[in-house]
A and B are shown apart, each in its own frame.
Chain A
C-alpha cells in the first residue's frame, strides 16, 4: 500500500467528516427557515445577516453546556451511545461515491473513501447498526420516556429495515451488482435510463422506509414530544445530544445520496449540467422534500406505522421483487 493512497484516503476522510458535520449544522438552519416560510414565519433572524450565524450560536451553546449524566444511568453505555449514532452515520458514507472522478495536476481522485464491491450492502448494513445508538441510549438512561423511545426505535428500525432491503432488491436484480458505482454507470444514458422509471414502486418504498430510518416527520415516533418528551434523548444534553443530531442529519444526507445514486441517475451529466452539480441538486431536493413533508404532514400512530410496514409496504415490496424477477426471466 503506497503512502500516496494512505494520505489521499485520510484527506478524504477529514473532508467528509468536516463537511458533513458542518452541513448538519447548516441543515438545521435550512430546516428552520423552510419550515418557517411554509408556516408564514421568518425563522431565525437576529444572529447575523438573516440569522445565518444562528448555527454558530447553537454550536457554542452545545459545546459549552454541562455534560450531565443522571445518577441511575449506566455510565459507560450512556456515554458511548451517541458516539455509535454519529459514527455509524459517518462510516456509512465511506462507501458512497459522492461525485464523478476528477483530476488534479495529473492525479486522478476518486471521490469515494473505499470502493468496495458490496457498497450498497455496506451502507445499508452500517446505517442499520445505527439502531444501537438510540436503543442503548434509551435503555441506559434510567428514564421511562427513554425506555419507551428505545422500544419504539427497536420496532421501527427493525421493521423498516425489511422494507428497505426488499425495495432495493429489485434494482439490484436489474443492475446485477451491489457497487454503487455500477448503479451509477448503469444509468449513464440520460434521464430515460434512470431506474426510477423501471422501478417506480421500489423508489416510493425506499423513500418511505428512508423516512422511517432517518426518523423524519411522518414517522418520527422515537422523539415525539407530545408522547414521550424526547424519547431516547430525554436525559441527554450538550454535545452528546448534539451527536445524535449530527447523526440524524448525516443520515439524511446519506439517504439523499443513496436515493440519487440508485434511482435518480447518480452523478451522470444531466443535459448541460455537469455530474457533480447534478447530484448535489438531487440530494438537496431530497433534503428539501424531508423538510417539506415535515411542514405538511401529521404524525402517524405507532400501530399505524406497524400496520403500514407489515401489511402494506412489505407485501408490495415482495410483489415488486417477484414481478421484476418474472419480467427479467422472459
Chain B
C-alpha cells in the first residue's frame, strides 16, 4: 500500500476495539438458555461491586467552582487588558489604530490626541463586548504588546460595558508592580528569539 493509499484509508484502518456480539438466539429454547446463563453469571452483582468500590475509594472529581478553579491555558482569550511600560508607567498604546482596523466585529473604538511632548496617545479606548467575538486579532496585530487578552473569564455583571472602558482595562498606576509581562495571547512565544533567528533575511 503506497503512502497516499494509506492516508486515504486512514479512517477505516484505525485500531478500533470490536465488541464480540454473540449470534442472536433464534428459538425459544436458545432464548431461555441465554436468560439462565446471564442470570447465573450474576452480572447484576458485578455492577453493584463497581459502584460500591467507587464509593469506598472516595476518589472525588468534583471541583467546587467558586472556591476552587481549574488552571486555564496561558493563551486563553478572555476580557482584554491594556498594559503599561514597566519602568516609566507610560501607556504602551501609541494610538496607531491597527486593532481598530483589523477588528472583524468592528467593536474597537479609539480616540487619540497629540500630547504636550508631541506623542500620539489614546484618549478613549473602548471595546463593545456585546459584539466582540474574542478572536484575538487585536492582540495579534498590536506592535507594542499594549492590548492583550487577560485570563479573567468571570465577567458576569449588570452590563457588559462594565469591562469595556479604557480605565477598566488599563493597568492602574499603583498596581504597576503587579503587572506581569503577559505570557498570553498577543505576547511573543517563549521561543520567539530562536524563531526570529531562523527567519531568512532575503525574500
* Cα distance A40–B47 in the bound complex, in angstroms: 15
Q: Whose C-beta in chain A lies nearest to the C-beta of B39?
A: A312
Closest CB-CB distance, B156 to chain A, in whole Å? 18
Interface centre among B51, B52, B62 (most CB of A within 10 A): B51
Closest CB-CB distance, A73 to chain B, in whole Å? 39
Task: Indicate with 1 or 0, residue by residue over B31-59, a CB within 8 angstroms of chain A CB atoms.
Answer: 00000000000001001101110110011
Give every chain A residue within 8 A of B59 (Cβ-Cβ): 40
In the complex, which of the residues B44, B48, B60 contacts A40, with contact meaning CB atoms closer than 8 Å?
B60
The number of chain B residues touching the other chain, given as a range, is 10 to 19
Cβ of A301 under 8 Å from chain B? no
Task: Evaluate contact between A38 and B64: CB separation under 8 angstroms.
Answer: no
* Cα distance A59–B64 in the bound complex, in angstroms: 24
Cβ of A293 under 8 Å from chain B? yes
Task: Indicate with 1 or 0, residue by residue over A22-40, a CB within 8 angstroms of chain B CB atoms.
Answer: 0000000000001001111
Given known A-B contacts A38-B54, A40-B54, A40-B59, A293 and B48 have beta carbons under 8 A apart: yes
Which A1-57 residues have C-beta < 8 A from chain B?
A: 34, 37-42, 45
Task: Indicate with 1 or 0, residue by residue over A240-252, a CB within 8 angstroms of chain B CB atoms.
Answer: 0000000000000
Interface of B is mostly: helix
Task: Evaluate contact between B64 and A34: CB separation under 8 angstroms.
Answer: no
Task: Evaluate contact between A38 and B55: CB separation under 8 angstroms.
Answer: yes
In the complex, which of the residues B44, B58, B64 contacts A297, with contact meaning CB atoms closer than 8 Å?
B44
Given known A-B contacts A293-B48, A296-B47, A42 and B64 have beta carbons under 8 A apart: yes
Closest CB-CB distance, B55 to chain A, in whole Å? 5
In the complex, which of the residues A38, A41, A42, A45 contacts B51, with contact meaning CB atoms closer than 8 Å?
A38
Q: Whose C-beta in chain B lies nearest to the C-beta of A312?
A: B35
Task: Indicate with 1 or 0, residue by residue over A264-298, a CB within 8 angstroms of chain B CB atoms.
Answer: 00000000000000000000000000001101110
Task: Evaluate contact between B60 and A42: CB separation under 8 angstroms.
Answer: yes
Give every chain B residue within 8 A of A292 (Cβ-Cβ): 48, 51-52
Give every chain B residue within 8 A of A42 (Cβ-Cβ): 60, 62, 64
* Cα distance A297–B44 in the bound complex, in angstroms: 7
Task: Evaluate contact between B61 and A41: CB separation under 8 angstroms.
Answer: yes
Closest CB-CB distance, B16 to chain A, in whole Å? 24
Give every chain A residue within 8 A of B51 (Cβ-Cβ): 38, 292, 295-296
* Cα distance A40–B59 in the bound complex, in angstroms: 6
Q: Whose C-beta in chain B lies nearest to the C-beta of A295?
A: B51
Interface centre among A34, A40, A41, A45 (most CB of B within 10 A): A40
Task: Evaluate contact between A45 and B64: CB separation under 8 angstroms.
Answer: yes
In the complex, which of the residues A34, A293, A297 contacts B55, with contact meaning CB atoms closer than 8 Å?
A34
* Cα distance A37–B47 in the bound complex, in angstroms: 15
Give every chain A residue within 8 A of B64 (Cβ-Cβ): 42, 45
Give every chain B residue within 8 A of A38 (Cβ-Cβ): 51-52, 54-55
* Cα distance A292–B44 in the bound complex, in angstroms: 12
Give every chain B residue within 8 A of A40 (Cβ-Cβ): 54, 59-62
B residues bordering A, Cβ < 8 Å? 44, 47-48, 50-52, 54-55, 58-62, 64
A residues bordering B, Cβ < 8 Å? 34, 37-42, 45, 292-293, 295-297
List 27 A–B pairs whose Cβ atoms lie within 8 Å, in order of A's numbering.
A37-B55, A37-B60, A38-B51, A38-B52, A38-B54, A38-B55, A40-B59, A40-B60, A40-B61, A40-B62, A41-B61, A41-B62, A42-B60, A42-B62, A42-B64, A292-B48, A292-B52, A293-B48, A295-B51, A296-B44, A296-B47, A296-B48, A296-B50, A296-B51, A297-B44, A297-B47, A297-B48
Q: A38-B55, A45-B64 are in contact. List 10 more A-B contacts (CB 8 A).
A: A34-B55, A37-B54, A37-B55, A41-B62, A292-B48, A292-B51, A293-B48, A295-B51, A296-B47, A297-B48
